[in-house]
Chains A and B, each alone.
Chain A
Amino acid sequence: MRSGIFAGLLLVTVSAATAFAQGAPIKLADVAELSGGGATVGNNWKNGIDLAIEEINAKGGVLGRKLEVTHADSQSNPGVARAQVQKALDNEPYVLLGPGYSGSVKVTSPLAAEAGITQIMGGEAAELTQGGNKFLFRTSFGQQSSMPKVAKYINDELKAKSAAIVWVNNDFGKGGRDVITKEFAKYNIKVAADLSTEAGQADFAADVSKIKAAAPDAVFVYLNEEESARILKELKRQAVAVPLVGETTLVGQKVVELAGDAANGARGHVGLTTDAPVDLVKAFREKFVKKYNYVPDHNGLKGYLAIYMVKATTEKMGKVDPKKFADTLHGLTIKAASEPGILMDVTFDEKGDIDRQGFLVEIVEGKQVVKQVLPKLN
């Protein structure tokens, strides 16, 4: 009897010790656009995060500890995003994930920096990483990296002498418009029409009429995904035949799904695409489709990569230390050969911007076709 009790106590002690060695779960907080105008962005991002965490936890977690994430909905509203981030930071997460909208990142990043918590986000506005915030990291190219490539393409490949710019009137759109306007000036490309539109705008008939009246050689479209789909339909309806060029938000999977045939012929630079000719990206796409039954856009990739950034950085440190996380990630190169979850080799600079290979794509018969691979710079 006494030996039985002793054996039981020993078993409990061993179990507790094992649990202690494995540690409590590493808590991550995600604030994303799960509803509202950015629902496509936020839901892809969230699903990418969940897929990566499931994979990592199935293989034993990070340094023996499981990852655990809470998702909060910003409703695509910067004010709500700020409140949700404050609430998330009160729970002292290891890393803050999101939001995806640049405007929401802009108002939330000071909170995370003040708390000393690293924020890995999906925003692409150029200004986000220009303010000296040492805790903010991108998952994709900023506009300062992508717009020069787009302008070069419009000048070199399309030989356009004039272009119409259609942009969404928020931080994301205005940032893109400002950078591309400067780039056009370098190539002496005349801005034939400069059209600001509203987030969530449904009717683009008047905007497209203005484009037609301006008769540009190309149209640069820089809107969110749903609005991109609507304007593509209207451009087709009004028989605008000049090349339509944009960024990821013009040629993403969701845009193709929503715009249907109207998306054919649209071209753009994408930092991340599930159609990339990279085996690890193809494998990611298969896993994502198997789990969620749809093809993700670049936001799904961003969410997935964010988690593998957490894993690689933590393993580089050899410990779970939220205060040292940002310092470790600055200047870090993560190679896909050693961490396949990162999909492509990537380097993070001192500002939190990334260097990675990119792609020029065109929509052909409802599918993204990669026309050109732009190599990693360093």
Chain B
Amino acid sequence: MSNLLDLLVAGLATGAIYALVAVGFTLLWQTSQTINFAQGEFVMLPAFLMLAVMHAGAPFWLAIILGILLSLLLLGLGFKLLLVDPMLRHGVLPLAIATMALAIGMKEAVKQFFSAEASPFPSIVPAGDVWILGRVVSLQSLGVLALAIAVVIGLTALLNRTSIGHQMQATAQNPTVARIIGVPVERMILLTFLINAFLVALASLLITPIYLAKFSSGEVLGQAAFIAAIVGGFNQVRGAIAGGLLIGVVDNLAAAYVSTQYRAAVPLILLIVIILFRPQGLLGRPEERTV
């Protein structure tokens, strides 16, 4: 039982990070039909941007701020203007393939200009333990979980309780009608790209102290978040959140109670079951398209 509590806390902490990344998947899909297969590498890059700033002599807090700003510029604005806009007019598939190419390019560039070796990365949550239900629980796990949940709640509030959020949802649901009623659709789409860039930068900040900064660290994250988004529901932010948490917990429980070797297969089996029996995802809504 006590072991289960450890696994749940660790799984939820990792799952919360998956959720942040998965939310980005759903946001981009809803507003611009973009499936970003470089999303994992988007999580990898901000850590290196922050490291580069620190190597230039800046303190960690300044590196975080500059890293997030650079991420907004490169992974939000730059990604939309330089890759999504020119490719989207050719259809979803060419764009998806272009993001795969982007993922390779980003990995190789980091390897080339930074290092192929892993680098340590400081944690924003201090080391230490707290006692919960008679068990020692790491402060870092709790901090990561709390911060990720706070961001998710903030994002949900933005989408549901503010005018900008309503405009973004209108853009996602029907951009033509949204444009007719005066919603600045282009600006809303850009905003979702910027929000995605912010989320991946934050995920990078939280996960890199655990996974270490390495050019290849986005591969696992990207795959887990993609599965989480589909399992939860690709067209619902709340679905991506639930999917992320579920995958984090399932992955940890599978490693502990099934097999470490087959742990990676369990989320995939879950994915297949969801596709077969509830293709819209756990919390997603069915979509119908005519051809």
Identity of the chain B residue whose Cβ is nearest the Cβ of A169 in the assembled complex: B261
Chain B nearest Cβ from A252, distance in angstroms: 12
Kindly identify, within residues 86 to 109 of chain B, every residue whose CB is under 8 Å from any CB belonging to chain A: none
When the two chains form their complex, are residues B261 and A196 in contact, meaning their CB atoms are under 8 A apart? yes
Is A356 at the interface (CB under 8 A from chain B)? no
Chain A nearest Cβ from B232, distance in angstroms: 20
Kindly identify, within residues 218 to 272 of chain A, every residue whose CB is under 8 Å from any CB belonging to chain B: 226, 229-230, 233-234, 236-239, 254, 257-261
Task: From the candidates A34, A239, A261, name the one contacting B136 in the complex (CB within 8 A).
Answer: A239
Is A43 at the interface (CB under 8 A from chain B)? yes
Q: Using A205-B11, A206-B256, A207-B260 as known contacts, say yes or no to A40 and B117 having CB atoms under 8 A apart.
A: yes
Is B118 at the interface (CB under 8 A from chain A)? yes
Task: From the candidates A43, A195, A203, name the one contacting B14 in the complex (CB within 8 A).
Answer: A203
When the two chains form their complex, are residues A206 and B116 in contact, meaning their CB atoms are under 8 A apart? no
A residues in contact with B269, CB < 8 Å: none
Flag the segment in A81-89, A111-119, A144-152, A209-217 that touches B: A209-217
A213–B261 Cα distance when bound, in Å, is: 19
B residues in contact with A233, CB < 8 Å: 209-210
A257–B3 Cα distance when bound, in Å, is: 30
When the two chains form their complex, are residues A209 and B7 in contact, meaning their CB atoms are under 8 A apart? yes
Interface flags, A189-200, vs B, CB<8A=1, else 0: 000000111101
Chain B nearest Cβ from A187, distance in angstroms: 26
When the two chains form their complex, are residues A209 and B136 in contact, meaning their CB atoms are under 8 A apart? no
Identity of the chain A residue whose Cβ is nearest the Cβ of B207 in the assembled complex: A202
Identity of the chain A residue whose Cβ is nearest the Cβ of B220 in the assembled complex: A202
Flag the segment in B176-184, B197-205, B211-219 that touches A: B211-219
Task: From the candidates A43, A203, A209, A229, name the one contacting B116 in the complex (CB within 8 A).
Answer: A43
When the two chains form their complex, are residues A229 and B118 in contact, meaning their CB atoms are under 8 A apart? yes
Determine the main DSSP class of A at the interface with B.
helix
Is B138 at the interface (CB under 8 A from chain A)? yes
| Interface residue tally for chain B (C-beta within 8 Å) | 36
When the two chains form their complex, are residues A197 and B260 in contact, meaning their CB atoms are under 8 A apart? yes
When the two chains form their complex, are residues B127 and A236 in contact, meaning their CB atoms are under 8 A apart? yes
B residues in contact with A236, CB < 8 Å: 127
A351–B220 Cα distance when bound, in Å, is: 41
When the two chains form their complex, are residues B260 and A260 in contact, meaning their CB atoms are under 8 A apart? no
Task: From the candidates A40, A196, A226, A259, name the one contacting B260 in the complex (CB within 8 A).
Answer: A196
When the two chains form their complex, are residues B120 and A207 in contact, meaning their CB atoms are under 8 A apart? no
Identity of the chain A residue whose Cβ is nearest the Cβ of B108 in the assembled complex: A35
B residues in contact with A210, CB < 8 Å: 3, 256
Of A36, A43, A205, chain B has the most CB atoms within 10 Å of the CB of A205
Interface flags, A31-62, vs B, CB<8A=1, else 0: 00011100110010000000000000000000
When the two chains form their complex, are residues B214 and A226 in contact, meaning their CB atoms are under 8 A apart? yes
A95–B73 Cα distance when bound, in Å, is: 50
Is B77 at the interface (CB under 8 A from chain A)? no
A residues in contact with B263, CB < 8 Å: 206
Q: Using A196-B261, A237-B138, A239-B138 as known contacts, say yes or no to A209 and B256 having CB atoms under 8 A apart.
A: yes
Task: From the candidates A35, A213, A229, A238, name the one contacting B212 in the complex (CB within 8 A).
Answer: A229
A residues in contact with B14, CB < 8 Å: 203, 205
When the two chains form their complex, are residues A254 and B136 in contact, meaning their CB atoms are under 8 A apart? no
A311–B200 Cα distance when bound, in Å, is: 52
Identity of the chain A residue whose Cβ is nearest the Cβ of B115 in the assembled complex: A39
A245–B141 Cα distance when bound, in Å, is: 25
Kindly identify, within residues 126 to 166 of chain A, every residue whose CB is under 8 Å from any CB belonging to chain B: none
A residues in contact with B136, CB < 8 Å: 238-239
A197–B120 Cα distance when bound, in Å, is: 21
Identity of the chain B residue whose Cβ is nearest the Cβ of A34 in the assembled complex: B116
Identity of the chain B residue whose Cβ is nearest the Cβ of A73 in the assembled complex: B116
When the two chains form their complex, are residues A212 and B6 in contact, meaning their CB atoms are under 8 A apart? yes
Is B39 at the interface (CB under 8 A from chain A)? no
Is B111 at the interface (CB under 8 A from chain A)? yes
A169–B263 Cα distance when bound, in Å, is: 14
A258–B212 Cα distance when bound, in Å, is: 8
Chain A nearest Cβ from B227, distance in angstroms: 15
A residues in contact with B140, CB < 8 Å: 237
| Subset of 11 A-B contacts with CB under 8 Å | A36-B216, A196-B260, A202-B217, A205-B255, A206-B255, A209-B252, A226-B214, A229-B118, A238-B136, A238-B138, A239-B138
Apart from A39-B117, A205-B11, A206-B256, 17 more pairs, CB < 8 Å: A35-B116, A39-B115, A39-B118, A40-B117, A43-B116, A195-B260, A196-B261, A203-B251, A205-B255, A206-B252, A206-B254, A206-B263, A209-B7, A229-B118, A229-B120, A229-B212, A259-B120
A interface with B by C-beta (< 8 Å): 34-36, 39-40, 43, 169, 195-198, 200, 202-203, 205-207, 209-210, 212-213, 226, 229-230, 233-234, 236-239, 254, 257-261
